[in-house]
Structures are given as C-alpha cells and as structure tokens.
Structure 1
Amino acid sequence: MKQKSAKEDFLEDEEGAGWIVTYADLVTLLLVFFVLLYSISSLNMERFRQAFESIRISLGKDMTTLGVIEVMEVPQLDRKELTLEEIFGRRSREEAMVEDINAFVAERNVGDNITVQILNNKVVVRIQGTILFESGSEQLMPQAEPILGQIVHIFKAYPEYNINIRGHTDDVPIATLRFPSNWELSAFRATTVLKYLIEKGVSPFRLTATGYGSLLPLRPNTTAENRAMNRRVEFVLEKKG
C-alpha cells in the first residue's frame, strides 16, 4: 500500500481545518460588534450604518462577502437618535412613545388632564376638553397651544404612525345655530385639532378626524366629574400598514 507523503498529509490537514480560520474571523468580528454596542448607550443611525458597512464576513470558498447585518429600514426621525433597546426590540416603539409623552406630562404637570396608554398595539392619548376648548366652542384656548405643540413634536418623531383624532362630549344636549347637536360639536373639535397638526407640519396623509358625540363615554354621565372626563379629545396612533 502506498504511503502518503508528509506533504500530502499537510495539505489534507490544511484543507480539513480551513473552516477554523473562517470561524475564528467570525468570532473576532462578533466580539468587536458586541464591544461596540456595550460602549455606547445610543446610536446615531448614519454612524451605525457606516460602522456596519465597514465590517464584512467572508463566507465559502468563493470568498463572497456579506455585511455582519443588513442595516434595517428605520423611518427618518425628528430626533435622529435610536436607543439600543429600540433597535434590537427590547423596547417597542409604542413603549418609547408612551415614555416620551409621560415625560412631557410630568414636566408640564398636566397628569390630571392627559393620559396615555397602549391598547391593542395602538397608542391612545386622551386630553380633557377643559384644557382645550371653552364650553360649547370648537376654538382652541390660548393655553391649549403649548400643550398641543409639544404633542405635535412627539408625533413628528414617530412618522410611521397614522393618527386618528377623536372628539367626544358628555350627554348634556346642545342646540345652537352652529352646533345642532353634540355630534357636530365633537366633529368640529376633532377637525380643529387636525387643522392645528397640519399647520404645525404633520403630514395630512397621516391624519383623520372623527366626532363621536356622547356615544363612547369613559364613565357614566351621572356626575359633573364624570361628564368632565367624558369631554375629551383622543389621539389614536397606529402603525401604517
């Protein structure tokens, strides 16, 4: 039987162990990747893209190269910054929006008038009508504009969400030349807020306005306090598509 030469043994060993080199490269690149993530708390998306475009992995005998990851499609944000939790899914965009709104509510000390929650993957922001409109009117009061202005700023940072503006009233009847019923009043109020958002730069393609009158109360219309809670404007934000 013909014995293999030392040269043949070396070539076979080198060919069989060739995967180790690729594996070692991969482990090294992954180490660099996680060190990079650990060293920062938030990422500028353009730097994020450039960093990952510069890191390549060689695969297979033909040495084709692939990026460590394909940089995900992220909507352009007003603030241009994403936290690591948002990028890698540890915190949803809905949760991030709720945190932003709650921070604004705490800063303005308007927690009695504004609430926000996530319902069925939608973000619902409720603002009591008493800080937006005078009784029986659809015109915004002066003190409403700073509040709505900050809300608009937050909404513009989340352009992937459509916004349904909903007007609600209590069950006390109204009958004026301008508003024959609460249906008209609630619809006019929702439309007034919609116009304000458009004037402040929110795309009209994201917006709808609906008046519900007294049809959907939060509480029974049995006390003055409950009726005040039911007079409200809601923003219901849902991801497009």
Structure 2
Amino acid sequence: MSRKTQLLEENDGPGWITTFADLMTLLLVFFVLLFSMSSVENEAFEEAARSLNIALSRDSAPSSLIPLLEPAAETTRIPDPNESVIINRDAELADQMRFQQALVDSINLELEEIIQDLEGSLAESDMGSWVEIGTPLDGRLTLKVNAAVMFDPGSVAIRRSMMPLLDSILEVVLENPGFKLEVQGHTDDTPVDTDRFPSNWELSALRATAVLRFLIEGGLTPQRVVASGYGDSIPLLPNTSEENRTANRRIEFVLERMELPR
C-alpha cells in the first residue's frame, strides 16, 4: 500500500459526523436568530418562526417546532359590517329619545295652559282653595282634592257644595279633547268594615266611581275617563297623625295625553 493511500485511510472518520456537524450548525444559527430577535415585535418573531418551521420540516409544510403563543397583530384591519349597524342603532335610539323628550316638553307646555284656564275657572267659582294643582311632570298633570270636603265620613255621595269644583274640572277636560282623565280614590289606613264597604278598597273605588259618573253625566265620553280605587296603598304622608291621615284621604285627577307616539 502506498504512503498516500495509507494517509487517506487514516483520515477517514465515521460517516455520521458530517450530518452531526450540519445539525449543530443549524442549531447554532437557530439560537443566534432567537437571541437577535429577543427584542423585536411579535409580528417579526412569528414571521421568522414560520420561515424556520418550513425550512426545518421534511415536507416543506409548517411544523410546530416553534409554538406561536399569540397571533401576530393584524397589519390591515377588515371593517366589521356590524359596527355600522350598531352605530346606526345608537343614533336611532338617541333620535328617539330626543323626539320623546321634545314631545313631553310640548305636552307640558299644553298642560301649563290648562292650569291657567283651570285656575281662572276655579277663581270664578271661588273654589281654588280646595284644589291642589301640581306641576306638569312627564306629560302628566295631577290635581288633588281632599276627600273630607267632597264626601261625608263613610259616604260616597258628593256634597252639593263641591259641584262647582267638578264643573270647572269637567269644563277644562272637555275643552282639551286630546287628553284623558283618571279619577283616583285614596283613603288613610283607618280600617273600614261595613256591609257596603268591607275595606278601604271598596270605599276608595266607589268614591272615584261617583266622581266618574258625575263627569260622564256632564258630557265627558267614557273613553276619556277611568276610575280607580287605591285604598290606603299610596299614602302621601305616613299615617302617624290625624293631620297626615286627613291629607291621605283624597281624590286625585290625573290628566294626560290620549296617546303618545313611539
């Protein structure tokens, strides 16, 4: 064997060493890349990771050698068609609320004019001191009349002296056909237990009905008036004194629009 052939044979090593060296080189490059990208944004890191996954995989398809914990931030945002719908709905709701408030304000102005007419009519009949006129609120106006001046104790018959007061209320309602009227009967918490009035519910309801019948007989159509009895369920004041109980025994007239458009 020649000297040259002997030297070549001595330099030959195992065949796997070449593959191992290539692998170590790739790993070194891989960790150098990781280190160099330690301060870059997620988007750049993920792009590089995808490239490495493809390069190191056998079938040239993306593998999971480097897991991506979070998706890269979108560089181009696709508008959500539902956003315009939500914005439009919010705008519609805001418009509806403004319209409703404008409508209520308009009704309150009408009620202010009704108050002036009612005060003038009550002044002519000298009955103004018997009626407590409220302030228009949410398109409604409430009038309170103490039941003690309208009815005898335990009675549902309207005193004749109160007829002019009811006439003034009737006149105002007839002159404003766009409004309806609810007559509410209220009592204090003093128990009532008779054959005719088993409880305050019956007493308050029959008193409100007596007023309703007077208004209908005066020309108000039944479609525009309703009577309700609330007993002692809605007191104005705590029933802790005779003065408070007297205030709680009352008839209320609630005037409001026939219909409110939506």
Residue 107 (structure 1) shift: 4.1
Tell me what 2:111 maps to: 94
Distance 1:97 1:174, change over 3 A: same
8 Å CA contact 2:127–2:165 kept in 1: the answer is: no
Determine whether 1:140 maps to 2:185: no
Determine whether 1:236 maps to 2:257: no
8 Å CA contact 2:157–2:207 kept in 1: the answer is: yes
Which protein has the larger Cα radius of gyration, Structure 1 or Structure 2?
Answer: 2
Matched residues, percent identical?
Answer: 40
Whole-Å separation in 2 of the counterparts to 1:95 and 1:110:
19
Tell me what 1:121 maps to: 139
Tell me what 2:41 maps to: none
Two-structure CA RMSD over aligned residues (Å): 1.8
Q: CA-to-partner distance for each residue in 1:42-62, whole Å, 9 max, x for gaps? A: xxxxxxxxxxxxxxxxxxxxx
Determine whether 1:176 maps to 2:202: no
Residue 119 (structure 1) shift: 2.2
Tell me what 1:204 maps to: 222
Pick from 176, 179, 193: which aligns with 1:158? 176
Secondary structure in structure 2 of the residue aligned to 1:92: helix
Q: CA-to-partner distance for each residue in 1:161-189, whole Å, 9 max, x for gaps? A: 01111000011111110000000000000
Listed as ranges, the gaps of 5+ residues in structure 1 are 1-88
Whole-Å separation in 1 of the counterparts to 2:151 and 2:107:
39
Distance 1:191 1:221, change over 3 A: same
Q: How does 1:1-80 map to 2 (within 5 A)?
A: none
Residue 91 (structure 1) shift: 8.0
Whole-Å separation in 2 of the counterparts to 1:238 and 1:95:
12
Number of corresponding residues: 153
Determine whether 1:193 maps to 2:185: no
Q: CA-to-partner distance for each residue in 1:57-78, whole Å, 9 max, x for gaps? A: xxxxxxxxxxxxxxxxxxxxxx
8 Å CA contact 1:171–1:221 kept in 2: the answer is: yes
Q: Where does structure 1 differ by over 6 angstroms across 4 or more consecutive aligned residues?
A: none
8 Å CA contact 2:186–2:229 kept in 1: the answer is: yes
Secondary structure in structure 1 of the residue aligned to 2:183: strand
Listed as ranges, the gaps of 5+ residues in structure 2 are 1-105
Bigger fraction of residues in strand: 1
Whole-Å separation in 2 of the counterparts to 1:227 and 1:103:
30
Secondary structure in structure 2 of the residue aligned to 1:143: helix
Q: CA-to-partner distance for each residue in 1:175-214, whole Å, 9 max, x for gaps? A: 1100000000000001111100000001110011100001
Whole-Å separation in 2 of the counterparts to 1:97 and 1:178:
37
Tell me what 1:149 maps to: 167
Whole-Å separation in 2 of the counterparts to 1:172 and 1:131:
18
Residue 102 (structure 1) shift: 2.3
TM-score, with structure 1 as normaliser? 0.60
8 Å CA contact 1:185–1:213 kept in 2: the answer is: yes
Determine whether 1:103 maps to 2:120: yes
* Equivalent residue letter for 1:123: L
Bigger fraction of residues in helix: 2
8 Å CA contact 1:170–1:228 kept in 2: the answer is: yes
8 Å CA contact 1:130–1:231 kept in 2: the answer is: yes
TM-score, with structure 2 as normaliser? 0.55
